[in-house]
Amino acid sequence: MTVSEYNKSVDLFSDGIFRFILKNIKDEDEAKDIVQDTYEKLWIKASDVSYLKVKSYLFSTAYHTMIDKIRKNKRMTNISDYNDDLATYTDTYNGLNEVLDEALKQLPDVQRSVILLRDYEGYAYNEIAEITNLSESQVKVYIYRGRLALKKYIGSIEALV
Amino acid sequence: MIDININNYEAYLLDLAEGELSSADEKLLMLFLDKNPEIKAEHDHFELEQVSAENIYFENKSSLKKTGILDDVSSNNFDELCIARIEGDLKNKEITEFDKIIKTNDDKEKEYNLFKLTQLSPDKNRVFQNKKSLKRKEVKTRILSKNYTVLSIAASIIILIGLYLLIPKEKENAILVSELNKNIKVEKLPEIIKENKKVVELDSKKVSVRKIAIKDNIPKQIQEVKELENSIIEEQIKREITQIAFIDPVEIKYNFVNNEAALNIVYVSFDKAQKKDIVIEESNSFGSYLAQSFNKRILKKGNKNKVELFDIAQVSLERVNKLTGSKMSLERVYNENGVADRTKFNSRLLAFSTPIKKDKNLL
């Protein structure tokens, strides 16, 4: 990958990576750091990474950097044992986006990530599998479970409202 | 040899029933069964129990077949279908079917609409502001330009050192001579430490030879002057390497090319019988140095401080001969005085001879 291709990848993908990370960790500074780290890693490997594969390389790197940071900082609440009872609806929501944001927070990291990759970037199952180091069927299962959980959350809010 | 016994005979019976037993084994098995009539009865019963396929068919296959994915939509698989619909996993026909179902069922439509809400869309206004910090400049170019700067500096230093080394030492030693074939004039006269005069026969003439040891900059030198009736006929600088004495003095000759002081220092033994042709040529100009290097490395013509066009032509012709396999030659023709006065070229197609133009064969 040439320098100009690298710089082009900054223009094309840094926003998407930033949004993806920000949605996952809800910390803007941390998200910026992860984007910086991701591009730093890309620059180091620039000669080995093909421009055609740079997007998935960037998202994969960003995803794993984020997971490492989450594990390190224990910033996120592990709610892999998701329970409907954990969801609290005490906040007042001004719109669907806020409800969805809150619902996303309740999802386990992996479910949230695969749904964000699917919806934000339109990745196919196999691409998400590649980025997250999961199998394609695992990705499908996580997307299924995540959507089901989101739907339940939104449905519950609607019932309350 | 297998041993069929009470513990393993069933395996052989099964193989026999399935036609897997070899004829030899079958014979052994039959012998075993003859010896054990009660087992033989069991074997006969086993044979009866083999069921042959009958013509029995499941008649209600059509009830199992599906005409579409929504034939048996239940609460269990509706979620799955909704997710497949929003994920784009359904085929066109299935989408049409699915859409039909939800239009006719309000509950299902509501459920589906909730699933549709789970689709996230990015907030395009949230962008990474500091893209500039991520971008890289053409580092390679910069490194290259830096390298050029470094190389320029290094080259300048090398040139300066080279020039310093190439500066003629006679300047330092103050022994530059002003004109060709004139008396050697020393710019800075060295201090005479020791002097010794003697008269020698030279071409039947008495020549006064004066040897002087001089204190000068390193190396120490001895000047020898040959005089005839108070007129100097030859003046030489004798250089002594080791010490100030008359032991093994060396002769220094000066050659002049186009009035440029090209210094050739010829070290010879003072004793002519032990004269040595140890020649160390020094050049007092960068051009001479280049000429020497060119002669030595390219033309293989020793340390001459001039490059002759003839040598270049001859070497070039040799290379052409080597490459093409031709036999062209370029030679000098010498006259009776031993002076080269013509150049002769010879090849398969062309041969000519041309006079040498003096003073134009020097670079």
Residue with tokens 């390298």: B147
* Residue B252 belongs to a domain: yes
- In a mutational test of the B interface, the residue from A15, A93, A113, A116 whose CB has the highest number of chain B CBs within 10 Å is A15
- Alpha-carbon distance B124 to B127, whole Å? 7
Q: How far apart are CA B98 and CA B90, in angstroms?
A: 9
Nearest by CB: A147 against B115, B124, B128: B115
- Cβ–Cβ < 8 Å for B237, B184: yes
Q: Is residue B98 part of a domain?
A: yes
| B272 and B348 belong to one structural domain | no
Rounded distance between C-alpha atoms, residue A131 and residue B221, angstroms: 84
- Decide if A16 and B122 are in contact by the 8 Å CB cutoff: yes
- Does B281 lie in the same domain as B174? yes
Same domain membership, residue B261 and residue B175: yes
> Alpha-carbon distance B363 to B360, whole Å?
8
Between the CA atoms of A75, A79, A80 and A86, what dihedral angle is there, to the nearest 10 degrees?
Answer: -170
How crowded is the C-beta side of B111, counted as CA atoms within 13 Å? 22
DSSP state of B52: P
B118 touching A, CB under 8 A? yes
Q: How far is CA B67 from CA A37, B70, B103, in A?
A: 53, 8, 19
Tell me the mean pLDDT in the region A101-113: 87
Q: Which domain holds residue B38?
A: 9-48
CB of B79 within 8 Å of any CB in chain A? yes
Give me the amino acid identity at B132.
K
- Mind listing the pLDDT tens digit for each residue in B237-258? 555 443 333 433 444 444 444 4
- Res A129: pLDDT: 93
Using an 8 Å CB-CB cutoff, list chain B residues near A35: 128, 134
Helix (H, G, I), strand (E, B) or coil at B200: strand
pLDDT for B102:
84
Residue B201 sits at the chain A interface (C-beta within 8 Å):
no
B175 and B263 assigned to the same domain? yes
Give the CATH number of domain A80-161: 1.10.10.10
Pairing of strands B191-202, B205-215: antiparallel
Cβ–Cβ gap A158/B114 under 8 Å: yes
Q: Which of A3, A6, A35 comes nearest B128 by C-beta?
A: A35
Give pLDDT, residue A134: 92
In this complex, do B134 and A18 lie within 8 Å of one another by their Cβ atoms?
no
CA dist B165 and B153 (Å) reads 18
State how far residue B76 is from chain A, nearest Cα, in angstroms: 12
Using a CB-CB cut-off of 8 Å, the residues of chain B touching A155 are 114
Same structural domain, B282 and B179: yes
Smallest CA–CA separation between B303 and chain A, in Å? 50
| Whether residue B110 is found in the same domain as residue B197 | no
CA-nearest of A160, A145, A157 to A115 is: A145
Chain B residue closest in CA terms to A157: B114
Co-location of B76 and B174 in the same domain = no
- Whether A36 sits inside 8 A of B136 (CB atoms) is no
Contacts of B115 in chain A (CB under 8 A): 147, 151
ipTM, two decimals, is 0.73
Q: Are residues B187 and B224 in the same domain?
A: yes
Q: Does B128 touch chain A (CB under 8 A)?
A: yes
Is residue B126 included in any domain, yes or no? no
* Average pLDDT score, chain A: 81
Q: Which residue has the tokens 């190389």?
A: B151
Q: Domain A1-76 classified CATH 1.10.10.60? A: no
**Residue with tokens 């401080």, as numbered in its chain:** B305
Does residue B156 sit within a domain?
no
Cross-chain Cβ contact A6/B130 below 8 Å: no
Taking CB atoms and an 8 Å limit, are B80 and A150 in contact across chains? no
Domain contains B279: yes
pLDDT at B218: 41
Query: DSSP readout, B242-270?
Result: SSSSSSS-EEEEEEEETTEEEEEEEE--S
Structure tokens at B156: 């300048």
> Is residue B310 very low, low, confident or very high in pLDDT (cuts 50, 70, 90)?
confident
Report pLDDT digits (tens) over B153-200.
778 778 877 766 665 554 444 343 333 334 444 444 445 555 566 665
Please calculate the CA angle B283-B285-B291 and round it to the nearest 5 degrees: 70
Residues B176 and B272 reside in one and the same domain: yes
| Residue B363 is assigned to a structural domain of this protein | no
Q: Is pLDDT above 80 for B307? A: no
Q: Which of A39-53, A96-110, B211-225, B345-359 has the lowest mean pLDDT?
A: B211-225
Residues in A touching B128 (Cβ below 8 Å):
14-15, 17-18, 32, 35
* H or E stretch at B191: strand B191-202
What percentage of residues in chain B have a pLDDT greater than 90?
A: 0
Task: Output the pTM of the full model.
Answer: 0.44
Bigger pLDDT: B167 or A138?
A: A138
List CB contacts of B183: < 8 A, sequence separation 6 or more. B232, B235
Contacts of A148 in chain B (CB under 8 A): 79, 83
What is the number of other CB atoms lying within 10 angstroms of the CB of residue B210?
A: 16
Work out the number of other CB atoms within 10 angstroms of the CB of residue A46. Answer: 18
Indicate the number of domains in chain B: 4
Number of residues in chain B: 363
Given a cut of 60, whether residue B93 has pLDDT beyond it is: yes
**Distance between A42 CA and the closest CA of chain B, angstroms:** 10
Residue of A nearest to B131 (CA): A10
> B131 touching A, CB under 8 A?
yes
What is the model's pLDDT at position B189? 47
Q: Can you tell me the distance from the alpha carbon of A19 to that of A71, in angstroms, rounded to the nearest whole number?
A: 20
Residues B86, A39: C-beta atoms closer than 8 Å? no
User: What is the pLDDT at residue B249?
Assistant: 40
In a domain, residue B303? The reply is no
- How far does A3 lie from chain B, in Å, by closest CA? 6
Q: Six-digit token pair at B233?
A: 């006929």
Residue A108: both structure tokens together: 């386990």
**Contact residues on chain A for B117, CB-CB shorter than 8 A:** 96, 100, 150-151, 154
Q: What is the mean pLDDT of residues B280-287?
A: 53
Q: Determine which of B24-38, B69-83, B99-113, B193-207 has the lowest per-residue pLDDT on average.
A: B193-207
- B65 pLDDT more than 90: no
Domain assignment present for B110: yes
Q: What angle do CA A145, A149, A153 make, to 5 degrees?
A: 170
Q: Find all residues with CB under 8 Å of B233, minimum gap 6, and list them.
A: B207, B226, B227
Domain residue spans in chain A?
Answer: 1-76, 80-161
Min Cα–Cα distance to chain B from A74, Å: 24
Q: CB-hemisphere CA count at 13 Å for B196?
A: 7
The residue behind tokens 């004793």 is: B271
Nearest-CA residue of chain B relative to A112? Answer: B120
pLDDT per residue as tens digits for the range B316-353: 888 888 877 777 888 888 776 667 777 888 777 777 77
